Amino acid sequence: MDRLAGQIAATHGRLHAAAEPFARHMLDVGDGHQIHVEESGNPEGRPVMVLHGGPGGGCSPFMRRFFDPAHYRAILFDQRGCGRSRPQASVHANTTPHLIADIEVIRRSLGLESVLLFGGSWGATLALAYAQAHPGRVTGLVLRGVFLATQAELDWFYGGGAGRFFPDLWARFRDPIPESEHGNLIAAYHKRLFSGDLGREGRFAQPWLMWENALAGLQSSALSHAPPDYARAFARLENHYFTHRCFLDEGQLLRDRHRIEHLPAVIVQGRYDMVCPPLSAWRLAQGWDGCDLRLIPASGHALSEPRISAELVRVMDAWRDEDRA
């Protein structure tokens, strides 16, 4: 979950100045996949790895601006099948374990002993999954809009829960599908997004993407169209992961939380997040002494929500100041 943040209006005045990458890489991670990686900020600074949302959202230059470029070495990468990674929209060998392995390839190729993880929505899911698999390689977590990849969360967003608040927008998402298939819209869209007919896949990618985008922020609007290649990659990858429940056991991220409870964590969660409701963040934080849950008023899901952006910058600046102390 979480559409590319740079396509939602940026919150100027709260972010660090834009910094161009000092290095770009195209890493061969096997299985026919090549991963686009970029580094910006201080080459000798504290490494922070940014995990984008979706699955399938890709990274944006906007994401570099949460990190003081004099202090942080910000590492952004497009996950398998999306953004500038290739092949685009491919679900071959594209699972959560594959993405965890890709993070390890990136970490080792850049010569990093450990990294701070910064991820929102699906990026928060992946950050938790990676940290639980490799707790010794993580120095801390900064999470936003927590998604735990449970069936209840999928039912909320694709089973009509969120649609009770947005019946008009829900109808736009549901109505392209015959009524006989409304009982499982993820499966119904899967048939069409993987039909092998590029035109048909593109047509059904648009309502899939627009449903999520319309609910991302308190001031979001339902756009009528998105770039076709982006929409198809986003919709196919997200649907692929949700069809397979993100390749995680039900409740796995809460079950295995004990593996990372020694790590410091901050969760920045919109109080009115309709994509990933606050209950998941609350459940994740309860009993985790090192976790600081910050429920942000008058805010939804998107990374570029003004109060969300401002709070994330405060978090990263505070950790910078602790490093310097």
Domain coordinates of the chain in residue numbers? 5-150+248-324, 152-246
What is the C-alpha to C-alpha distance for residues 135 and 138, in angstroms, rounded to an integer? 6
Flag whether the pTM goes above 0.85. yes
Q: Does residue 158 have a pLDDT over 50?
A: yes
Report residue 222's pLDDT band, with 50, 70 and 90 as the boundaries: low
Q: Which of 2, 40, 301, 304 is catalytic?
A: 301
What is the C-alpha to C-alpha distance for residues 303 and 325, in angstroms, rounded to an integer? 29
The predicted pLDDT at position 5 comes to 42
Which helix (H) or strand (E) element contains residue 312? helix 306-324
**Residue 124, helix vs strand vs coil:** helix
Per 3-state DSSP, the chain is made up of helix, strand and coil in percentages (nearest 5) of 45, 15, 40
Q: Does residue 203 have a pLDDT over 50?
A: yes
CB 253 within 8 A of CB 236: no
Q: Does residue 7 have a pLDDT over 70?
A: no
Report residue 13's pLDDT band, with 50, 70 and 90 as the boundaries: low
Maximum alpha-carbon separation in the chain = 62
> Looking at the DSSP assignment, which residues form a beta bridge with residue 131?
none
Nearest to 94 by CA among 185, 30, 158: 30
Q: Does residue 239 have a pLDDT over 50?
A: yes
CA angle 175, 179, 184 (to 5 degrees): 90
* Phi, psi values for residue 302, rounded to 5°: -65, 145
Q: Can 2 be counted among the known catalytic residues?
A: no
Burial of 98 (0-12, 13-18, 19+ CB in 10 A): middle
Question: Long-range contacts for 92-96 (Cβ within 8 Å, ≥24 apart)?
Answer: 92/31, 92/32, 93/30, 93/31, 93/32, 93/33, 94/33, 94/237, 94/240, 95/244, 95/247, 96/126, 96/129, 96/241, 96/246, 96/247, 96/248
CB 240 within 8 A of CB 95: no
Question: Looking at domain 5-150+248-324, which CATH architecture does it have?
Answer: 3-Layer(aba) Sandwich (3.40)
Q: Which of 52, 273, 299, 304 is catalytic?
A: 273
The residue written with tokens 């092998």 in the block is 196
Q: Which of 40, 90, 121, 280 is catalytic?
A: 121
Q: What is the mean pLDDT of the chain?
A: 94
Q: Does residue 56 have a pLDDT over 80?
A: yes
Average pLDDT over residues 72-79: 98
Q: Can 301 be counted among the known catalytic residues?
A: yes
